[in-house]
Amino acid sequence: MTNLTLDRRTLFKSAAALSFANAFPAWAQSGTHGLHPAPGLLSGESIALTVADSHFATGGRSAHAVTINGTVPAPLIRLREGQNVRLSVTNKLKEDTSIHWHGLIVPFEMDGVPGVSFPGIAPGETFTYEFPIRQSGTYWYHSHSGMQEAMGHYGPIVIDPAGADPVQATREHVIVLSDWSPVHPHVQLKRLKQSGGYYNMQRQTLAGLLNGKDQPLKDRIDWGKMRMDPTDISDVTGSTYSFLVNGHGTAENWTGLFTPGERVRLRIINASAMTNFNVRLPGLAMTVVQCDGQHVQPVETDEFQIGIAETYDVIVQPTDAQAYALIAEAIDRSGLVRATLAPQIGMVAAIPPLRARPLLTMKDMGMDMSGMDMGQGGVIDLSQPANDSMAGHSMKMLDPSVAPNVPMGPGVATLSSMPADRTADRPTGLEDVDHRVLTYADLRALEPNEDIRAPTRSIDIHLTANMERYMWSFDGVKLSDGADPIAFRHMERVRVTLINDTMMPHPIHIHGHFFQLLTGEDAAHNPRKHTVNVLPGGKISFDLTADALGDWAFHCHMLMHMHTGMMRVVTVRHAEDAA
């Protein structure tokens, strides 16, 4: 496979992209040599950021954007563990803004969530965040106001460790994945409220049935009876989105340079509003060394799914002087973005075709049949009583007894009757690909967890929805319904189980804390995360030490799920105050 062919059209487009180069911060410009030496980044103890209206264009489309210091993505902030930082944020928008430092352990009043941690930043005002840097790793920052993060208000943070970095690399690139649409996010949300499947252009059709595609007729009838759509993978899709790497679409071909033989560290951040991605570099194995800014024991893989707001640091070692495509594919396969790693700019590798759109299964509906004698030759007939092996298990799609604390109502269309722990499952759409795929169970913390006390309390939180009405909630209650905060005692150790009663993965994020995801019996090495993608119909558990006093946001990082109610305030108080 030689990838040295220079495509005239690509060259032209690269040139065109370069002429707009000042629209990108230096680290995000195509053809960058990487972060050493660091080009045009913001560092030091005093950093000024200005949020303003601007325009953004990609793939021949252009629209209003919200920029920081004039660029999409926003500038790279590079800090060092142990320093203090003062970030003064000036709002030149006509509406409020804010910056949340995603994954940074900061005092709650510096966390940047309007209405929870601070009042927000009014137009014309400057707000100064100030906090010590107590950690290292790859993080990011984004608005927590008015869906601005869907319009460009996001950027990367890299924090170098105070001591030696256990990850050795000769070169590093930041890879910010995002989704961009010229349609304002408020209009997108309106469309989804008007018609839940508005952006799904990959539904099952009669033409498909006649061509033998997708589900056979009997399954279609079964699913139709339940009013469930097995193609409902993503809410907002490639039918409106351009997918971006460092602000570049496929045609603009963001290129990061390397010299053959180098260990190249890719700091991959999913800064999307609504898109989970499958990430791979055909022909290059990736060694995952960090997740959510926390070191993990190096593990080699060929592809991983990155939930919104997660970060993965991987090492690749290209030995040949050829171009490698970096492919980020939307999990519903409605589109992808290609970027390039190459020894010199202008080289391209083949773009693999989009793979077939996955179809959801009964497991994604919380009916895990594995290891059960189904009877009827494995065919699920919901109209029939369960056979003996299913005794004691509800086979209904909405049996209130499986979640007694979830009030039934218009916002809860389904409940997972037999949710499986899916941390060792390959994520949606990657079940059958013929190469290695990372699962959460592959992640083991490099540095042992400090707190491995057994939890003294356990809570379940149901992720609930009605796709037809486009309602999203925790425990069947939207935040706007007057939901109570989720209360913790300071330093309390709690086992939290997230049960996904919907057919969509949800990247769930807690502010101000890292939790330890239960992926194995070795509690000291369960991976620490700030965001966990809970697979459809499944559940995950994590142990949380409530070590950060204050009020914190807890929400699904699908922007429109959060804005339709899938959010809570988490409170952490001294036990004596709480009594």
Partner 1 sequence: MTRLIAALLLASTATPALAQMDHSQMGAHQTPPAPQAPADPHAGHAMPSTDDSVPQGVAPPIPTDHAAEAFYPAATMARARAAMIKESGGMRFLQLMLDRLEYRAHKGANGYAWEGEGWFGGDINRFAFKTEGEGEVGGPLESAEVQALYSRALNPWFNVEAGVRQDFRPQPQRTYAVVGIEGLAPYWFEVGAQAFLSDKGDAHLRLEGSYDQRITQRLILQPAAEMNMSAQDAPELGIGSGVSDIELGLRLRYEFTREFAPYVGVHWERKLGDTARYARAAGEGTSATSLVMGVRFWF
Which residues inside 154-173 make contact with partner 1, applying CB under 8 A?
161-163
Helix (H) or strand (E) holding 290: strand 286-291
Q: Which stretch binds partner 1 (CB under 8 A): 2-10, 49-57, 316-324, 549-557?
A: 549-557
195: CB partners within 8 A, 6+ apart: none
Of the candidate residues 142, 333, 426, 478, the single one contacting partner 1 (CB under 8 A): 478
Of 107, 26, 54, 252, which is closest to residue 552 (Cα–Cα)?
107
Does 69 bind partner 1 (CB under 8 A)? Our answer is: no
Compute the least distance from the CB of residue 343 to partner 1, in Å: 35
Q: Which is nearer to partner 1, 224 or 261 (CB)?
A: 224
Whether the Cβ atoms of residue 351 and residue 325 lie closer than 8 Å to each other? yes
Q: Which is nearer to partner 1, 268 or 413 (CB)?
A: 413
385: CB partners within 8 A, 6+ apart: none
> Using CB under 8 A, which residues numbered 551 to 570 contact partner 1?
551, 555, 562-567
Of the candidate residues 7, 45, 381, 522, the single one contacting partner 1 (CB under 8 A): 522
Of 292, 301, 288, 238, which is closest to residue 270 (Cα–Cα)?
292
Whether the Cβ atoms of residue 153 and residue 270 lie closer than 8 Å to each other? no
From CA 103, how far away is CA 539, in angstroms rounded?
A: 22
Q: How far apart are the first and last CA of the chain?
A: 68
Q: Which is nearer to partner 1, 174 or 572 (CB)?
A: 572
Please classify residue 480 by burial: count the beta carbons closer than 10 Å to its beta carbon, then call 0-12 exposed, 13-18 middle and 19+ buried: exposed
**Would you state the structure tokens that stand for residue 346, as one six-digit string?**
């202008």
Alpha-carbon separation of residue 411 from 274, 470, 476, 564 (angstroms): 20, 8, 6, 11
Compute the least distance from the CB of residue 464 to partner 1, in Å: 10
Q: Which is nearer to partner 1, 306 or 518 (CB)?
A: 518
Of the candidate residues 86, 405, 424, 431, the single one contacting partner 1 (CB under 8 A): 405
Which is it for the CA torsion 313, 520, 568, 420, positive or negative?
positive
From CA 253, how far away is CA 250, in angstroms rounded?
A: 5
Q: Which stretch binds partner 1 (CB under 8 A): 42-50, 360-368, 502-510, 540-548?
A: 540-548
Place of tokens 């990487």: 34
Does 114 bind partner 1 (CB under 8 A)? Our answer is: yes
Compute the least distance from the CB of residue 571 to partner 1, in Å: 5
> Using CB under 8 A, which residues numbered 204 to 233 contact partner 1?
204-207, 221, 224-227
From CA 560, how far away is CA 180, in angstroms rounded?
A: 14
Q: Which is nearer to partner 1, 24 or 515 (CB)?
A: 515
Compute the least distance from the CB of residue 273 to partner 1, in Å: 15
From CA 168, how far away is CA 176, in angstroms rounded?
A: 21
Of the candidate residues 44, 115, 124, 261, the single one contacting partner 1 (CB under 8 A): 115
Instruction: Supply the DSSP string of 471-511, one letter for each residue.
Output: EEEETTB-GGGTPPPEEEETT-EEEEEEEE-SSS-EEEEET
Compute the least distance from the CB of residue 17 to partner 1, in Å: 30
Of the candidate residues 408, 424, 431, 435, the single one contacting partner 1 (CB under 8 A): 408
**Would you state the structure tokens that stand for residue 325, as one six-digit string?**
């495509």
Does 548 bind partner 1 (CB under 8 A)? Our answer is: yes
Compute the least distance from the CB of residue 158 to partner 1, in Å: 14
From CA 7, how far away is CA 91, in angstroms rounded?
A: 43
Does 576 bind partner 1 (CB under 8 A)? Our answer is: yes
CB atoms within 10 A of CB 302: 17
Q: Which stretch binds partner 1 (CB under 8 A): 281-289, 353-361, 369-377, 486-494?
A: 486-494
Does 493 bind partner 1 (CB under 8 A)? Our answer is: yes
Does 250 bind partner 1 (CB under 8 A)? Our answer is: no
Q: Which stretch binds partner 1 (CB under 8 A): 25-33, 55-63, 117-125, 501-509?
A: 117-125
- Three-class DSSP category at 141: strand
Does 387 bind partner 1 (CB under 8 A)? Our answer is: no
Does 136 bind partner 1 (CB under 8 A)? Our answer is: yes
Does 254 bind partner 1 (CB under 8 A)? Our answer is: no
Of the candidate residues 92, 184, 191, 436, the single one contacting partner 1 (CB under 8 A): 191
Of the candidate residues 2, 194, 319, 376, the single one contacting partner 1 (CB under 8 A): 194
Q: Which stretch binds partner 1 (CB under 8 A): 259-267, 345-353, 354-362, 485-493?
A: 485-493
Whether the Cβ atoms of residue 417 and residue 397 lie closer than 8 Å to each other? yes
Q: Which is nearer to partner 1, 461 or 503 (CB)?
A: 461
How many residues lie near partner 1 (CB under 8 A)? 121
Q: Which is nearer to partner 1, 154 or 472 (CB)?
A: 472
Compute the least distance from the CB of residue 246 to partner 1, in Å: 26
φ, ψ (nearest 5 deg) of residue 181: -135, 145
Of 562, 522, 529, which is closest to residue 544 (Cα–Cα)?
529
Binding mask 435-474 for partner 1 (x = CB under 8 A): ------------xxxxxxxxxxxxxxxx---x-xx-xxx-
Of the candidate residues 13, 92, 193, 396, the single one contacting partner 1 (CB under 8 A): 193
